[in-house]
Amino acid sequence: MIKSMTGFGRAEYADENRKFTVEIKSVNHRYLDMAIKMPKKLNFFEAQIRNELKNHIQRGKVDVFITYEDYTENTANIKYNKDIAAEYLKYLKDMAEEFELDCDVRVSTLSRYPEVFTMEEADVDEEEIWAGLQKCINNAAEKFVEARIKEGENLKNDLIGKLDGMLSHVQYIKDRAPQIIAEYKKGLEEKIKELLQDTKVDEGRLLTEVTIFADKVCVDEEIVRLTSHIEATKNTLIEGGSIGRKLDFIAQEMNREANTILSKANDLNTSNHAIELKTEIEKVREQIQNIE
């Protein structure tokens, strides 16, 4: 099976303490380019998240969105900083003595001074959080891969159809080649007879000219190689796997052979079919860019 580089997957996981939501979407890219957006509380797990996703994804520009809800009530603790409160009180008493004022400090007043009371995050169980997050990531990744496989199957069927169409153009060019030479020979012979009238045609000279022409327009090697590339592409699609880069290279080779055939074409019908070949090859190359 093959995978498209376009895909989407979403999953939720919740227990009595927290809830995770993970969304994964991707488009085609030459390499694996992963961007993760998540709450700061989960930044600690970024490396683990990337490693987990690499088990499912090899190529593509991947965007990952993670949301996190904590249902626990006691997520923060109040800390009383006794030393800071004592220092405030000392300076307040010093001020009262220096300026001959009443020291009317009340507990409620002192408690409002900065840093006397602070909030601290309660200790969290990282293993417990990761266990839930990991399940959610894997569930989303599995759905994401399923979407890629489904799209990949559609791509494969479309590409095989295009490749079969290309083979029909190649077959036409192959069948047309000997006809072009025969037509050239006939036309040349008629022109010579017209020019020389009753003079006998030099068959040796005629054969030499036809041979030179045939060598000039011969595309036998290009047809063999192009047919081989098309069949190799079909077989690779059927075998499946991470084949995007390999198919891209084969498509470049197919385009090179089609260019050579077009440059050698000395016949309107052959040229038209060679142009159709190049058009189909370009369509195939565009589709291949979406394969992982």
Domain boundaries, the chain: 7-73+124-148, 76-121, 151-288
Cα–chain center distance at 80: 54
Q: Tokens at residue 240, please? A: 């499946």
Render pLDDT for 16-52 as a digit per residue (tens, 0 to 9): 888 999 999 999 988 899 999 999 889 989 999 999 9
| Separation CA 156–CA 166 (nearest Å) | 15
Say whether pLDDT at 144 is over 90. Answer: yes
Structure-derived torsion over alpha carbons of residues 50, 56, 61, 62, reported in degrees to the nearest 10? -60
Give 7-73+124-148's CATH code, choosing from 3.30.230, 3.30.70, 1.10.10, 2.10.25.
3.30.230
Say whether pLDDT at 158 is over 90. Answer: yes
| Separation CA 64–CA 267 (nearest Å) | 54
| Closest to 10 measured CA to CA, from 142, 170, 133 | 142
Question: Domain 151-288's class?
Answer: mainly alpha
* pTM as predicted: 0.69
Asked if 36 and 184 touch (Cβ cutoff 8 Å), the reply is no
